[in-house]
């Protein structure tokens, strides 16, 4: 297929959208595994930016980021949520994919090895404390994903962490 200059200019002029992917890991008590990045304030889930320029899919990105950040390389479960997060002055819009990482055993937690270049610490946080650690769209996304797991329902579509459709 030949790409014409007009088509190339059209593609170059399209808005930029980031894709992110993360895994939702829990313990037997239902607490959620959060990580503390060293490059920004607050807490997050293991995950990060999908390297689409490398041909990576969101699922592959979540797995890669999880292996890099906490040292757990495992198949991820089903997709729980897809969230459209509007852009800000600091970044373009984001499409965030959230996958079920499953319930980890005590041995899994002992095997966690933090990526020191990006993370300060990790912790298990009870559901009721998640809004204190994950404000905004991420917190809403995680709470909705926990609801999806409890309901046994399919993946949900979110906009800025709010269910739509």
State pLDDT tens for residues 46-72: 999 999 888 999 999 999 999 999 999
Selected residue with higher pLDDT from 108 and 13: 108
Task: Write the CA distances from 34 to 4, 76, 119, 149, integer angstroms.
Answer: 47, 16, 11, 18
- The CA–CA distances, whole Å, from 50 to 55, 57, 135 equal 9, 7, 22
94 is written with which tokens? 């984001």
| pLDDT in the model for residue 64 | 98
Per residue in 113-141, pLDDT (tens digit) is: 999 999 999 999 999 999 999 989 999 99
Instruction: Return the percentage of the chain with pLDDT > 70, whole number.
Output: 99
Per-residue pLDDT tens over the stretch 3-40: 777 887 887 777 788 999 999 999 999 999 999 999 98
Rounded CA gap, 51 and 53, in Å? 5
CATH architecture for segment(s) 16-163? Alpha-Beta Complex (3.90)
pLDDT at 1 over 70: no
End-to-end CA distance of the chain: 37
Dihedral, CA atoms, 100, 125, 144, 134, nearest 10 degrees? -110
Please compute the mean of the pLDDT values over residues 58-87 and round it to a whole number.
97
pLDDT for residue 141: 98
- With 0.85 as the threshold, say if the pTM is over it: yes
Rounded Cα–Cα distance for residues 69 and 59 (Å)? 15
Distance, in Å, from the CA atom of 162 to the CA atom of 140, rounded to the nearest integer, reads 7
Residue-level pLDDT at 67? 97
Q: Per-residue pLDDT averaged across 86-111, rounded? A: 95
| pLDDT level of residue 79 (50, 70, 90 thresholds) | very high
Q: What ranges do the domains of the chain cover? A: 16-163
Separation CA 154–CA 162 (nearest Å): 16
Residue 112 half-sphere exposure, CB side, CA atoms within 13 Å?
A: 22
Q: What's the confidence (pLDDT) of residue 90?
A: 85
């Amino acid at each position: 297929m030949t790409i014409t200059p007009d088509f190339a200019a059209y593609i170059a002029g399209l808005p930029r959208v980031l894709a992110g992917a993360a895994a939702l890991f829990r313990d037997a008590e239902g607490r959620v595994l959060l990580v503390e990045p060293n490059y920004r304030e607050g807490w997050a889930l293991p995950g990060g930016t999908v390297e689409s320029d490398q041909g990576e899919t969101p699922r592959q990105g979540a797995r890669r980021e999880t292996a890099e950040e906490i040292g757990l390389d495992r198949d991820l479960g089903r997709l729980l949520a897809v969230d459209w997060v509007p852009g800000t002055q600091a970044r373009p819009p984001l499409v965030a994919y959230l996958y079920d990482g499953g319930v980890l055993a005590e041995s899994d937690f002992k095997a966690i090895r933090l990526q020191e270049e990006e993370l300060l610490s990790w912790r298990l946080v009870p559901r009721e404390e998640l809004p204190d650690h994950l404000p905004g769209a991420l917190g809403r996304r995680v709470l909705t994903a926990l609801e999806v797991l409890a309901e046994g329902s399919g993946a949900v579509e979110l906009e800025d962490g709010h269910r739509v459709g």
